[in-house]
């Protein structure tokens, strides 16, 4: 997986979690977090945290805060 692969995946899906990325690429979450940090520092990826019981969440994570990554066009 390259930074370009990660970029394409996030752009295609619009909103993804770390576990979705790891599952798709069959990659280590720590490595993905480092790659996400690259795009976050460049201002290309935005991080959003949502409560598990907010309107935009299914509640399957047991009450934990879910972290979503979205691509910022610009």
Q: What is the pLDDT of residues 60-73, one digit of tens each?
A: 555 556 899 999 98
How buried is residue 50: exposed, middle or buried, by Cβ count under 10 Å (0-12/13-18/19+)? middle
Instruction: Please report, for the domain that includes residue 41, its CATH number.
Output: 1.10.10
Q: What pLDDT does 43 receive?
A: 96
Domain count of the fold of the chain: 1
Q: How many Å apart are CA 3 and CA 28, to the nearest integer?
A: 14
pTM of the model: 0.78
pLDDT, tens digit, 9 for 90 and up, residues 38-60: 999 999 999 998 765 555 555 55
Domain that holds residue 31: 3-71
Q: 66: which strand partners?
A: 50
- The DSSP output letter for 26 is T
pLDDT at residue 74 tops 80:
no
Grade residue 36 by pLDDT with cuts at 50, 70 and 90: very high
């Amino acid at each position: 997986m390259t930074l370009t692969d990660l970029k394409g995946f996030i752009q295609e899906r619009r909103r993804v979690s770390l576990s979705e990325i790891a599952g798709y690429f069959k990659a280590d979450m720590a490595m993905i977090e480092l790659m996400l940090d690259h795009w976050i520092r460049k201002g290309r990826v935005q991080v959003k945290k949502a409560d598990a019981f907010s309107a935009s969440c299914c509640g399957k994570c047991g009450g934990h805060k879910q972290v979503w990554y979205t691509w910022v066009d610009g």
